[in-house]
Structure 1
Amino acid sequence: MNKNIERTFVAPACIIVAIATQIPFILTIIFSTLRWNILRPDQGIKFVGIKNFKYYLTDSEFYIICLQTIVLIGSALVLCMVFGYLIALMLDCDVPGKTLSRTLILSPFFVMTTTTGVLWKTTILNTNYGWVGTIADMLGIKAIDFVSYYSRPLLVFLFVWQWMPFFVLVLLGGLQGIPEEVLERANLDGCNWFEMTFKIKLPMIFNHMQVALMLGLIFLVKEFGLILTTTSGGPGQKTYTLTYYIYKALFSGSNVGRAASLSVITVVVTLTVINLIFRTIKKRRELYQ
């Protein structure tokens, strides 16, 4: 009887989530089977089956952008996790100015990604009137155009700057949830800083790491505004990700079917990677247990 009551309370939330997520995804799958050029209404809408998927799966450009997406997002994800954990450790200590430090570190997470892109590109990195150009003029040297010459490292840096606070927030919650008794016993046993940090605290927040990694991966995969406002995918296609590739397929190619098929492929790849991360963390947790 209790289970039936619980299901009754949970059912409305499940229905709302299903409507908000699954119906659009089903429509995307349907669109992926169509040949639909929105600039050529005279051609009509025709069913083409899996031809849109074949187009990408047999195109070398798709695999280059797919690999590029993995490298960019994978690098950002690793850096977010490493620096997020180290900063969370510092914020977990009882030091003066801790509250102000938390506010300053977490603030980038609450800034819109398009605002972040415009801020960095125009106010900071612009070689004429940005901070980089001004400082270069003061030093009498030539300003470096990071957007043109170091677009990939720049994009990874901006990803980390934007989303690392989220990792800090999640991991800090995990660290503060560790029982004091465990830490006191570790101190009594003579554990040094390294052992306390990586052999005691780290295994105890594996669940928080899993949440941070999976949600962080989703946030980074769907990141679009930051790319559009900083590099616009350039120079060339050096900073294209699958999400930006979808945008170009729809708004530059005006091809709804191909954009939808690419969206489905992106979702499948993302879910596969999330499953691999989940399994890897689960195995590591079992080893520590």
Structure 2
Amino acid sequence: MERPMHPLTLYLAAPRGFCAGVDRAIKIVELALQKWGAPVYVRHEIVHNKYVVDALRAQGAIFVEEVSDCPADRPVIFSAHGVPKSVPAEAASRNMIAVDATCPLVTKVHNEAARHHENGLQMIMIGHKGHPEVIGTMGQLPPGEVLLVETPQDVTTLQVRDPGKLAWITQTTLSVDDTAQVVTALQARFPAILGPHKEDICYATTNRQAAVKAVAGKIDALLVIGAPNSSNSMRLVEVGRAAGCAYSQLVQRAADIDWRALATAKAVGVTAGASAPEELVNEVVAAFRARYVVTLEQVETAVEDVEFKVPKILRDPIGA
């Protein structure tokens, strides 16, 4: 005899999933395939999501780690995270067609760093060591011009050239609350330090974290759909825990859900990182419906209507 299904409320956080920068990056690969045919080469994962990367691979995209891995006669696309200046320079030296899918909000940080550098300031970047966005941003300036910190503790040991000539920038996908603590430490140690005119942490990261905070008090568990190498997704897991949801876990897809851990849950929150497609959210909801009598509720804290244009080279016909 089948056991009766228990009632469960699923709270869907909104905004969730794709942001405008990710949307644009995926569109760039698809349009490049339409314009030049397969294969099109992409340096690094276009966005940090296996489902998305696999879907583009099936259409003819080939993902590589370096421009040197690409044949010179095929187009190369740079990922949404941004690249050091040396990367487009290498593509240009080989006369390659190169398309930059860097998120415009990351480009804004690059331009900020360049402007401060021109004004004689040394940059301090708040970010995660080894993340492609951090490598790309630090690679906009000569070695030693951008110093990286991750925590308030890092600030205490920082060796700078001139404490009176500093500016700070951040990775766009950080925890808003954690970053505020690092900024406070920087301002306490270097009172003259300049900050961005407008927050570097992007609207999508901020909005998704606010939505998780709004859901956290209503739920017994939080599932964040995203990839382990996705910074903004991992931050959502941390934000959920910090907001009081002890069971806050990353899942790449429905198959990763630990149902035993949710055995006593009566309310579960679901969100998705900025590079996770809505299909994966629907897949998770369907998995819950197969096991519970689900009541679905959306908790919306903001409405997003941001859209970024694709590069001109993809809007122009071939030969233009």
TM score, norm. by length of structure 2: 0.24
Decide which structure has greater helix share.
Answer: 1
Could you tell me the TM-score, scaled by structure 1's length?
A: 0.25
Could you say which structure has the higher strand fraction?
2
